[in-house]
Structures are given as C-alpha cells and as structure tokens.
Amino acid sequence: MIKTCIAGATGYTGAELVKLISGHPDAELTAVTSRSYAGQNLTDIFPALRGMVDITCEPMDIESLKGRIDCVFLALPHKVSMAYAPFFIENNIKVIDLSADFRFKNPKAYEAAYQTHTAPDLLDRAVYGLSEIYGDAIKQADLVGNPGCYPTSLLLPLIPLIKEGMISTRGIVSDSKSGVSGAGRALSLSSHFCEVNESFKPYKVGNHRHVPEMEEILSSHAQESVKITFVPHLIPLTRGMVSTIYAEVTTPTSHEAVMKTLKQYYRPDSFVRLLPQGQFPDTAHVRGTNFCDIGVHVDPDSQRIILISAIDNILKGAAGQAVQNMNLMFGINQRRGLELIPGAI
Amino acid sequence: MIKTCIAGATGYTGAELVKLISGHPDAELTAVTSRSYAGQNLTDIFPALRGMVDITCEPMDIESLKGRIDCVFLALPHKVSMAYAPFFIENNIKVIDLSADFRFKNPKAYEAAYQTHTAPDLLDRAVYGLSEIYGDAIKQADLVGNPGCYPTSLLLPLIPLIKEGMISTRGIVSDSKSGVSGAGRALSLSSHFCEVNESFKPYKVGNHRHVPEMEEILSSHAQESVKITFVPHLIPLTRGMVSTIYAEVTTPTSHEAVMKTLKQYYRPDSFVRLLPQGQFPDTAHVRGTNFCDIGVHVDPDSQRIILISAIDNILKGAAGQAVQNMNLMFGINQRRGLELIPGAI
Amino acid sequence: MIKTCIAGATGYTGAELVKLISGHPDAELTAVTSRSYAGQNLTDIFPALRGMVDITCEPMDIESLKGRIDCVFLALPHKVSMAYAPFFIENNIKVIDLSADFRFKNPKAYEAAYQTHTAPDLLDRAVYGLSEIYGDAIKQADLVGNPGCYPTSLLLPLIPLIKEGMISTRGIVSDSKSGVSGAGRALSLSSHFCEVNESFKPYKVGNHRHVPEMEEILSSHAQESVKITFVPHLIPLTRGMVSTIYAEVTTPTSHEAVMKTLKQYYRPDSFVRLLPQGQFPDTAHVRGTNFCDIGVHVDPDSQRIILISAIDNILKGAAGQAVQNMNLMFGINQRRGLELIPGAI
Amino acid sequence: MIKTCIAGATGYTGAELVKLISGHPDAELTAVTSRSYAGQNLTDIFPALRGMVDITCEPMDIESLKGRIDCVFLALPHKVSMAYAPFFIENNIKVIDLSADFRFKNPKAYEAAYQTHTAPDLLDRAVYGLSEIYGDAIKQADLVGNPGCYPTSLLLPLIPLIKEGMISTRGIVSDSKSGVSGAGRALSLSSHFCEVNESFKPYKVGNHRHVPEMEEILSSHAQESVKITFVPHLIPLTRGMVSTIYAEVTTPTSHEAVMKTLKQYYRPDSFVRLLPQGQFPDTAHVRGTNFCDIGVHVDPDSQRIILISAIDNILKGAAGQAVQNMNLMFGINQRRGLELIPGAI
C-alpha cells in the first residue's frame, strides 16, 4: 500500500484526492493537512464523507510526516508548494504538486506569470505530469508538476498534431469553457451563486496564466516558438471543461488521417477516448471520470481542423491525473483506482 | 458471480443499474433489454459508458434468458413488470422489480392506485424491498418489490417511531421534494429544461400514487390505519430527494430518546446515517451514494417531532436499493458494490 | 414625481429598488447610497444597468439628503436602519425600512430575536408593510417596516383564515423554500456556487428569526397567542419562494368556502392571485413580478387545509412590496410601476 | 395604436412577443393564433400571465384577420410562414416573419439549407431585419425577415469591420454558445432537463443552418464571398447567447481604432452597447433586455481581433428585435416598448 498525505485536503481538489485515495485499492490515506481546519475531522468539513472516511486534519508539519508517508499530494496555493517540496524530495517522499510551481522548465516563464521561484534548481528534476504524453518520464520521477486544467484539455488534442507537423504552429485558437469548481472553494463574488447562475461569460481575455504553460509545452514539441490565442469562459455548472480548438493544416488532410495520428498517441488503455466521426464531447459524458474525450472535425473548404475536448476539470484536470501520475510513479497500472464508471445522468 | 439481466436498461434507473452492476465485484452484466433500442450497443445511447461497458441491447425475450441469468432487475413501467415476473420466478430467476407492481400486499390498494393486477397470487410471495427494515425477509425472497423513492425517504425515518409508539398515527405530514430525474427519461413538458430550470413548485397535491404504498406499510407497523398528508414538490436539480416530516409525539420526548430508537433500527453497517443534533441532511451529501441521511429536531414547545431525510432518488430511491436487495437475496454483504464515496462537490 | 433615495443600493434588494424606481412613472431616483462603493457609478457595480441608469453612489450623509428627497428606502442591515430612521422622520422624509428594525410592535420580541432597540419609541408609529392587509394604515404612515420575505409568503394566505376563525391557532406548519438571493450579496460559503448548485437542504431548523415576526402578526389577528412550526429550505435557483402551509380546520369546510374568504381579502386589483381549484403556484409564474400566487387544497379525510403560496422573494418579498408601500403612502395607485408582465420563461 | 396579431403565440418566442406587445405603449394585442391550443385562453397555457393578459387563441384563419390588424408577427416554423405571408402582404398587413423563410435574397441558398421556397418572388421585397444595420430599409418595408439569433450575435460585431475592410474576409471563426430556450418549446431529448443540466457541449459542428444566412449577409458587405467557421454550443441556462469571434486584421490596428469604427455604426440610442477596454459581455447583463453588448480585444502579438457579443436570444435574438422592427416599420422610436431595465440578478 502506498502511504499518502494530501496537503490542502479541504479545497475541492484536495477533497477529490481524499475521495480517490480512499477508494484506491493500492493506496491509503495516511495523513491530511489543512491550515484552516487543523484538529477537525474531515467529516466536520465535508459531511458527505461521514461513514466513509475518518481522519483528522493536521497542520502541515513536515517533520512529523517523515517516515510515515511514501507520497505527498500538494493541493496548495502557488508559492506554498515550492516552499515544502524540497524537504519531501530530500526525505525520499515522492511529490505530486498540483500548483503551478513545478510545471515550467524555464524559471523566467514561471516568474513572468507568477512570482520569484524559490526552488529553481528543482525545475529540471520535475516532470510535467501530462500522463499520456510524459508517462515514461513520470515513471522515473520523484517530483511531478501536475498540469493545469486548461492545459490538459488543450495539450492532449494538440501535441500529436503539432509534433507530427500536421497543423501550423501559427494561428491556433482555443476557445475554452470551464465549470465553476475550477475557481476553487475560496469565497469570491465571481463564484457567488446568484452571480454565476444563469450567466455565461468570458474572463481574463488575453491574459490567463495558463497560456505560458501551454506555450512552453507546445513549443518544445514543435521545436519552435508557438503562440496561441486563448479565451476562457465560465459555464454555470460545477464540473466540466470543454476546449474548442481551431487550427490550420500544413497540408490538406482528412478526418481519417487526423484520427490515425491521434490513435498512435492514445491507446485504448489510456484515459483519452477518441470519438467517431460526427460525434463530439459533452462534459456530462466525462463527469466523475478521468477521461478526456476528443472529437475532430476537418472542414473541407477552409482546411481548418476543429479539435474539441472535454474533461472533468477536478479529475483529469487535477486530482484524477494526479492519482494517475502516482500510479505511474509507483509502477502500478495507471488505471488503478480510476476506473470510475460514469452515469447516464 | 451473480449473472444479471437489466430489463429496461435505457431509462435513468436502468442506466444506473448498468453502472452499479458493471462496478460490482460479485455480479456481472449478462444481458440488457430495451424495447426502443434493441440491437444497439449501450454506448450508442449513453456515450458516457464508452470504454467501460460493452453490451448490446436485446429485445425482451424471456426464453432466451432462461439458463443465462440468476437475477433480473425489472426497470420497466408499471403493468409490464407483472406480465414478465411470473415467468422468471418459475424458472428460478430471482426478480427485483422496480415498478409498483409488487409493492402492495393488498391487490385492492394496488388496483385503486394503478390498474387491474394480473399476477395477484404473487403478491404474498413478494417482499417489500425496504432493505434496512425487511432485510431478513429479503434474504429468503425470490421476488422483491423495490420501494418507490418517496416511500423510501419517508418510511425509513417513520417506521421505527411508529412501531415503538413514539409518534401519533394521526396528523403525520410529509412535505417532500424531488429532483427531476424522478420523472424519468420519457419526454414531457414538465421535464423540459426551460420549464423546470429556475422553477420550484408542488405537484399532484393530494393525489400522488405513492401515498397508498406508504399508508399500507405504515399501517402494518402501527397495527391500525395510518393516513398521511403528503405534498411532493419538484426541485430544479437532477438527483436528490428530501422529505421533511412533521409528527406529533404520543408522550413528551427528547432528541436523545428519538435518536436512541432510530439507532436500534439502523446500525452503522446499514445505509442509514443518523446525523448529530443540530445537523440536517443535504441532497448534496448523499448524491451518488446509497445513503439515507436522517436529521431530527424535537420542538420543545409544540412537542412536534421534525424528521428530515435525504436520499439520491436514483440510488437509495431506486437502483442502489435494488442492488442492496440483490446482495441480501444472494447472501452477500449488503454493502458490496455500493461503497460509493461521495465527493465534496 | 416622488423624489427617492435608496440607501444600500448595491445589495440585491437595493439594486432591485433601483430597477423599479428607474422604471416608475411617478418616482425618480434622486440619490443612492453605498458604504463600500461611494464615489462609483452604479453601472461600474452593475454593468447590466449601463445605458439605462446613470447615478453615482454617495456615502450616507443624512444632512446632504435633507430637502432633496421625499422618501427613503433603507435597504440596510438590521441595526443600521434604526440609527438613521429617526432623522428622516424628523425631517418629513417618509421611510420604508427593509430591515427587521420596524416590523415589531413589541420591542421585547425584537430584542429577543435581534438586539437592543435604539429607537423603540418609533415602533408604535411604524406600520407593518404587508400591503394587502395593512393598506389603510400604510396610507397614513410615514414609517413602514417592510415585511420579511418568509412572513409575506406565509401571512398572506394565513391571515384571512386565522381572522375568520376557519383554522385552528394550534398546529400550523409552514414548510418554506427560498431561492439563494434571499441570502444577499455578501460572500458566504452557503451561497458559494458549488455548494448550492445541485443541492437542496433545510437550514435554521427551529430557530429562524422570521418566526417571532410571523407569530406576533398572527397572534394579533387571532387575538390569542399563535405558535407555528417553521422549516425553511434552500432551493438552487436565484429568485423564488414557496410556502406550503398545513393547518387544521376549526369546523368542516370546503375549497369553495376557503376561497370565498380569501376573495374577500384579496380583490382583483391587489397583487394576490388566487388560483382555481386543482392549480398550484410555481415560482416561475411569479418571477419578476410583485404577485403572490395562492393555491388551496382541502383534504376531505383529514380536514386539513393546505395553503401554498409563491412569491419572487426579491419583489413581493422585498423591493416590490416596498414600492407598493411607497405608492400607498403617497396616495397613488398601488400598482403604479409594478405592472411587470412575466414571461413564459 | 398598432393592432397586432401574434401567430404561433404559444412557443417561447411567441410568448415573449405577447409579453412585449402587452406592455407596449403604442401597440395592442388584437389576436393570437395557435394550432395546438385554439380556443384556450393564453393564461391556461402560461399561468404566469394571469391577471395581466386576457386573450383566447384562435386558429390561424387569414380571412378573419383581414381588417382587424395592422401587423402580424409570424412566430411559426420554417415553411409555414411563407405559405401565409403573401396573403397578409396583399391585404396591406405588415409582416414580421421570425422563421428563416424571408432572410435570404438568394432562393438557392435558402433551398440548400431548408426546402423549396414557395414564395420566391417576395424575397426581393423582404428586408433583413437586423435593425441597427438595415434600419432605413426596414422603415420602408412591409415584409421583414427577422434574423436568426446566432446571426444577430455575430453580424452586429462583424459587419462594421468587414465593411470598413479592417478584418480579413478569410479565416473568421465564431465560437458561439446558446441557452436552451433557443431550441424552443417542442419536446426533445436534447432539451430534457436531466440531459442538459450540468452539461456543456458543441452541436451541429460544421453544419448549422444559420451559416449560409450569415455568409450571405457578410458577403454582401464585403463585396466578395466570405466563408466562416462556426461552432455552436449549448449552455445549461435558459436565456443568453455569447459569440466569441476571432478575426485577422488587414493592417495593424488598435483597440481604439476598432472602437471608433464600431461607434460610427452604433449610436447611443441603438441597442448595441460597446464596452470599455478590458470589459467583456456577460449573458446576465443583457438578460431580459434587447441589448447586444460587445467587447473587443486586440491581441498585439498575433494582430488578431477578438470580438465578443452577448444577447438575450429570445429578445435581441428574436422577439425583441421583431418589436424593434415593428417600431421602425410604423415610424415610431425604435426603443418604444423595449426600455427593459435589467436587474442585478
């Protein structure tokens, strides 16, 4: 059994990790930490868990965790993660960080979007946790920077086509949409029920912090600088994310050719489901699962490729992919504990 | 492995049974039937299931099922179930019927609320599938009439107090509220998105067909005729049901005394969770689980007891309790396949 | 033109008053105050108003309002209202207070539920602003305590039947449900989108502060002490409130007799719409209007009367009724500015 | 007073026309027709209207309408409208058609997307009812083809920039999102509450019938053939539409220059509200109004212009624009009856 600690267990991502690890056949919930709720049982904070989970929140005390755990999930704010990560690494505790702190290779790019990096020497050691793409490296890693939700939804469809040179590196547009849980459990007028309900709107047009993360990864695969146009929107639902991506082909292509390329990257045992021609994703079909569904439309006139992906932003976009990475890091089947069967509703 | 058939797999209850049986460690999905979708793979109807379930809908052909299955779930309309049930019983196939056809002992009561009963001789043989109350009988049964969702939410809190004589048999009021999935997948203006969204309303005031079902069961426990006042309402959400029940005490009592009685009926390994004083249920806390949460308030002035229960109407109110009954009928732990850990959101 | 000031214009009730007064043919928006947003144009806070309303928030400065306005709406927190009200009264500015500060005749009852009253001498002068019931007194008033939303939904159906002795003063139960806007615009986990969406739950069981307000009014009409059992619930929608009220008859009665009594109190030009037998209210039918819809069911067996009312909690439950009261206080038709035609959706 | 008939009054668009005309100071509701509900009072179908509207649905009998009305709104299905329109025109009754039947100049384009046109001779006479663009022609028209909702949301931001040559005619992408009311009141699994709630998805990717309508209009302004890439999505809310449009500049430009052009087309008395730099539309800000809000972002790196528009699809996207067109056709201020003040929620 992999002994795990979830640091920051009382946010939505942390709580989802609690749920996944509690149901994982090869892992156990050894410790949970919370700054605000230390000393309280998790069921006091999430009564839904009553009878299923029985564990008390600890303050984050790295000394007390030494020797007790094999793996820590850092579901903490940016900046806090990089303060703790070095200690865990030194003590042979594998780290899966869900903040942005270990997603970048280039500290300058991180610092431009976030703040000064206090553990830049770890950036080279960290592996970007996009499981289906970096699986081999993740298996060897002791520090994984789990991807952002938007980057996950966008990179999975784009990387194969960029890498194989099927689409142009210029002019990529991603019109993305996220459910409200992406904004977390911290109070904010923009997550206040009456402000979101019966509302749909774009936000952070032209300046979302996930853009440099996506551009760094895409550029590494293209072996040239890739710039994208990205507009996120807020959907009035709890879980779900759709990216509708518009790209130009380099040479005339077909639906069949695009699918053939994608299939080389995403085998049936991965969490990417490639939809048949004429079918497109729906957040409802991936809700509660670790799947990323991808549908493709090639417009014969404009020779533009439309790639549409859907994920559950809390699962494949955060906690689910983190557990998938844990599975890879500990050498077990990546699907363990993630065979979540979706419902019709 | 218990070989099961789900008849009527393409309604919401049927689809939830598909999900539960697919994830059940001791049962397997041997056959699914559908009148409208025969010949189609379930994933054509529910793309969410792609990669997780692979089975083709059959027309209902009872001959072809003989010898292939141990147990059938009838997720069929009232009237259709009683046409098929006798055949399965004759062929030693255990039946869990999710229609109203086998919920009544008294055929007259059934006929007043529904229609002529065509298999009245089976009514005595059928056991009412309220698992926590009739568990011993269910273990011996080969035909179970799975309770309605409203009756489940109302009977679990009421039966212990009625049986122990703590509340009056007169003047019970249940103000109940259900999510829209309770109305099923059949098209209707009353389930049309724009009619339901941002709407809350009562319906079938004074004439819901679940009332005679509840009154027959309550009367049997009270050993006198019990009449209740029941008003159902429609909540603009998919899954969830709350019953707020008002009852008069027979002798002055306390929160502690009520809880003590309830605890005698609902042990920690049951699916009833009794909430501490001052805490009350929320549909969000039971969503996706087979739990029934119950909170109690005793008003010291009026000596009225307020019992509040919440269930997921598709699970404890239908498919979940059906699987719980299958577990009991086949002599395995009632929680097998139902250890569904809820999420914070 | 009635010159008005809306104090506290940036909460949901204040904003609705802005909308109503802006469209009122006989009133004008002379000033709006806000502690948090003083100096900002209302369209900066509510971009929806752009092009329709152009006014800058002032800090509350009672001296500067003297002589500029005829009427002030206090959409302020409890306790703050009673600090300002005396000044406006002294300066012949009519006051419509939307807090609880002037709803009680008995300062002890107010103090038990809220806090020390700092203007108790004004309580006798204040008129309870339940427009259809206290219209004559409101016409003479210069200080109106606008009712709470729950009390409005509950008192309109109950007062006529209590007053005419048709229902028992004992054993009244109101099972009430409110949309989320009732909790206001202040941030709170209980109004956080992901906590409310797809959730339905009771709250403040047995101790809501609207209970003493309702009991004082009901007792005054019954001429004896009336105690009620009241359980509020939260509906996952923005606007709307339903009260389902269960009462016992004093002598056997009929639907017709109940309706006859209600019709004596609520004439066609009032904002109470009495529904025909067999029809019941829906929050969607009153959304965006000042109507209170009432449906009645008399259970022939139990001789219990079920009264169901629906209002838009922000309109008839707050801002709409406040404007209706302004109309009455200034001697104009109570429907002026409130002929809001609802849509089908 | 303009005497109007609303044909097809019991769909969502028809019902919204009933609401608008009932509140219009210069128009009156003379007749409403309905095939399904002939003989019933509108309040039987839409109880929300009780006390506000009192009119009985007639079957469509064109003879009986002659002489009674000045103007007819055809809120009918495609194909039905073109069967009736000629008669009204002959009898000097102005026609505002909300189907697609009179939106095209080129009957071939109509026939490719819909069916054989049975009144092609009227196409030249019909004016496309995009009020802010074709206002002068609409003032002279007796037959207006009211635009589709998607075309309205897309053409208002695009036409000025296309016409002034600021954006390229190649490579325009519109990623559009609509609330569920756009699908109407007819029953369909795709509007069934449980299928839509908590779901977000694209639909009709690459083949929506609004595309030829948009391309014909854009081409006429560009004076060359314009092809667009259009992907519609379904938002889980009742009212609201957002189009996020990506276009390439012809020569380097700035936010200021784009706004200057837009301002030349949309004066303050129009229903287009141009948002300041850094602000973007929200469906909640236009809900219940006839406004089209437009926000602009010019990406300095890619020299791509992002135009984002929001409308209420039932109002500016259908019934509201139809009334605006009626105002223009009858020579009254285009804002009459449409000064709908939005609420904060």
| B161, two tokens | 């107090």
Encode pLDDT of A301-312 as tens digits: 788 999 999 999
**ipTM score for this prediction:** 0.97
Whole-number average pLDDT of chain B: 97
Element (H, E) at C262: helix C255-265
Encode pLDDT of C142-173 as tens digits: 999 999 999 999 999 999 999 999 999 999 99
Q: Which residue of B has its CA nearest to D181?
A: B194
C-alpha A174/C-alpha A172 separation (Å) is 7
Q: What's the rounded mean pLDDT across residues B187-207?
A: 96
For residue B206, pLDDT over 90 is answered with no
Residue B168 has, within 13 A of its CA and on its CB side, a CA count of 15
Which positions 52-111 of A are in contact with D (Cβ < 8 Å)?
none
Determine, for residues B199 and C229 on separate chains, whether the beta-carbon distance falls below 8 Å. Answer: no
Determine, for residues A195 and D306 on separate chains, whether the beta-carbon distance falls below 8 Å. Answer: no
CB atoms within 10 A of CB A86: 15
pLDDT at position A311, please? 98
pLDDT at position B207, please? 87
For residue C49, pLDDT over 90 is answered with yes
Element (H, E) at D22: helix D12-22
3-state SS track over chain A: CEEEEEECCCCHHHHHHHHHHHCCCCEEEEEEECCCCCCCEHHHHCHHHCCCCCCEEECCCHHHHCCCCCEEEECCCCCHHHHHHHHHHHCCCEEEECCCCCCCCCHHHHHHHCCCCCCHHHCCCCEECCHHHHHHHHHHCCEEECCCHHHHHHHHHHHHHHHCCCECCCCEEEEEEECHHHHCCCCCHHHEHHHHCCCCEECCCCCCCHHHHHHHHHHHHHCCCCCEEEEEEECCCCCCEEEEEEEEECCCCCHHHHHHHHHHHCCCCCCEEECCCCCCCCHHHHCCCCCEEEEEEEECCCCEEEEEEEECCCHHHHHHHHHHHHHHHCCCCCCCCCCCCCCCC
pLDDT at position B153, please? 98
The pLDDT-based confidence of D302 (bands split at 50, 70, 90) is confident
Catalytic residue among C5, C57, C71, C149: C149
For residue B300, pLDDT over 90 is answered with no
Within an 8 Å CB–CB cutoff, is residue A197 touching chain C? yes
Phi, psi for D128 (deg, rounded to 5): -75, 125
Estimate to the nearest angstrom the gap between the alpha carbon of D53 and the chain centroid. 24
Q: Which of A82, A66, A93 is nearest to A122 (CA)?
A: A82
DSSP classification of residue C198: T
Residue with tokens 């007792």, as numbered in its chain: C219
CA distance to B37, B207, B220, B225, B319, per residue, from B106 (Å) = 35, 19, 11, 14, 25
The pLDDT-based confidence of D324 (bands split at 50, 70, 90) is very high
Q: Which of B147, B179, B313, B175 is nearest to B231 (CA)?
A: B175
C-alpha D196/C-alpha D175 separation (Å) is 19
Encode pLDDT of C283-311 as tens digits: 999 999 999 999 999 988 788 999 999 99
For residue C339, pLDDT over 90 is answered with yes
Amino acid letter, B296? V
Determine, for residues D181 and B194 on separate chains, whether the beta-carbon distance falls below 8 Å. Answer: yes
- CATH number of this structure's domain D150-313, picked from the four choices 3.40.50.10680, 3.30.360.10, 2.60.34.10, 3.40.190.10: 3.30.360.10
Q: Which of C108, C76, C118, C116 is nearest to C95 (CA)?
A: C76
DSSP classification of residue C317: I
Sign of CA dihedral B241, D12, D311, C185: negative
Whole-number average pLDDT of chain A: 97
C-alpha C144/C-alpha A292 separation (Å) is 58
C-alpha D288/C-alpha B277 separation (Å) is 44
For residue D301, pLDDT over 90 is answered with no
For residue D303, pLDDT over 90 is answered with no
Q: What's the rounded mean pLDDT across residues A201-224?
A: 95
| C102, two tokens | 């002037």
Q: Indicate the SS3 state at residue B175.
A: strand
| D29, two tokens | 């509701």
The pLDDT-based confidence of B302 (bands split at 50, 70, 90) is confident
Estimate to the nearest angstrom the gap between the alpha carbon of B1 and the chain centroid. 24
Whole-number average pLDDT of chain D: 97
C-alpha D104/C-alpha D212 separation (Å) is 9
Within an 8 Å CB–CB cutoff, is residue B285 touching chain A? yes
CATH of domain A2-125: 3.40.50.720
Collect all residues of chain D within an 8 Å Cβ-Cβ radius of residue B185. Answer: 189, 192, 194
Estimate to the nearest angstrom the gap between the alpha carbon of D299 and the chain centroid. 29
C-alpha B292/C-alpha B310 separation (Å) is 6
Those residues whose C-beta lies under 8 Å from the C-beta of residue A109, and which sit 6 or more positions away, are A212, A216
Q: D280: distance to nearest CA of chain B, Å?
A: 25
Contact (Cβ atoms closer than 8 angstroms) between residue D221 and residue D126: no
pLDDT at position A39, please? 97
Crossing angle of helices C320-329 and C131-140, rounded to 10°:
40
Tally helices (H) and strands (E) across chain C.
Answer: 12, 14
pLDDT at position D307, please? 98
The pLDDT-based confidence of A65 (bands split at 50, 70, 90) is very high
The pLDDT-based confidence of B286 (bands split at 50, 70, 90) is very high
Q: What's the rounded mean pLDDT across residues A218-228?
A: 97
Q: Which of A338, A328, A289 is nearest to A146 (CA)?
A: A328
C-alpha D43/C-alpha D148 separation (Å) is 28
- Residue count of chain C: 345
C-alpha C20/C-alpha C33 separation (Å) is 16
Q: Which of B262, B300, B304 is nearest to B168 (CA)?
A: B304
**What residue spans define the domains of chain D?**
2-125, 150-313
pLDDT at position D122, please? 97
Q: Which residue of D has its CA nearest to C288?
A: D343
Nearest-5° angle of CA A305, CA A309, CA A315? 160
pLDDT at position A301, please? 79
pLDDT at position D230, please? 97
The pLDDT-based confidence of B130 (bands split at 50, 70, 90) is very high
The pLDDT-based confidence of A20 (bands split at 50, 70, 90) is very high
The pLDDT-based confidence of D343 (bands split at 50, 70, 90) is confident
C-alpha A216/C-alpha A219 separation (Å) is 5
Determine, for residues D283 and A201 on separate chains, whether the beta-carbon distance falls below 8 Å. Answer: yes
pTM exceeding 0.80: yes
Collect all residues of chain C within an 8 Å Cβ-Cβ radius of residue D16. Answer: 343-344
Amino acid letter, A50? R
pLDDT at position C301, please? 79
CA distance to B227, B270, B308, per residue, from B161 (Å) = 15, 18, 13
Collect all residues of chain D within an 8 Å Cβ-Cβ radius of residue C239. Answer: 345
Pick from B202, B206, B345: CB nearest C299: B206
Contact (Cβ atoms closer than 8 angstroms) between residue A293 and residue A281: yes
Q: Which of D270, D317, D327 is nearest to D138 (CA)?
A: D327
pLDDT at position B283, please? 98
Phi, psi for B296 (deg, rounded to 5): -130, 135
Q: What's the rounded mean pLDDT across residues C267-295?
A: 97
Encode pLDDT of D181-210 as tens digits: 999 999 999 999 999 999 999 999 988 999
CB atoms within 10 A of CB B136: 10
C-alpha A323/C-alpha A343 separation (Å) is 21
For residue B6, pLDDT over 90 is answered with yes
CB atoms within 10 A of CB D199: 22
| A165, two tokens | 């040179």
Pick from D239, D339, D344: CB nearest C48: D344
Determine, for residues A314 and B345 on separate chains, whether the beta-carbon distance falls below 8 Å. Answer: yes
3-state SS track over B118-152: CCHHHCCCCEECCHHHHHHHHHHCCEEECCCHHHH
Q: C186: distance to nearest CA of chain A, Å?
A: 8
Quick check: is B292 catalytic? Answer: no
CB atoms within 10 A of CB C109: 15
Output b/e per residue, A164-200; b: 16+ Cβ within 10 A: bebbbbebbbbbbbbbbbbbebeeeeebbbbbbbbbb
Q: Which of B269, B284, B275, B274 is nearest to B336 (CA)?
A: B269
Encode pLDDT of D113-140 as tens digits: 999 999 999 999 999 999 999 999 999 9
Contact (Cβ atoms closer than 8 angstroms) between residue C232 and residue C177: yes
Q: What's the rounded mean pLDDT across residues A85-99?
A: 98
- In order, the DSSP letters of B261-290 are HHHHHS-TTSSEEEPPTT----HHHHTTS-
**Looking at chain B, which subunits does it touch, using at least 3 CB pairs closer than 8 Å as the criterion?**
A, C, D
DSSP classification of residue B302: T
Beta strands in chain B (DSSP E): 2-7, 27-33, 57-58, 71-74, 94-97, 127-128, 143-145, 172-178, 201-202, 228-234, 241-248, 272-274, 292-299, 304-311
Whole-number average pLDDT of chain C: 97
**Looking at chain D, which subunits does it touch, using at least 3 CB pairs closer than 8 Å as the criterion?**
A, B, C
- In order, the DSSP letters of C17-36 are HHHHHHT-TTEEEEEEE-SS
Contact (Cβ atoms closer than 8 angstroms) between residue D157 and residue D307: yes
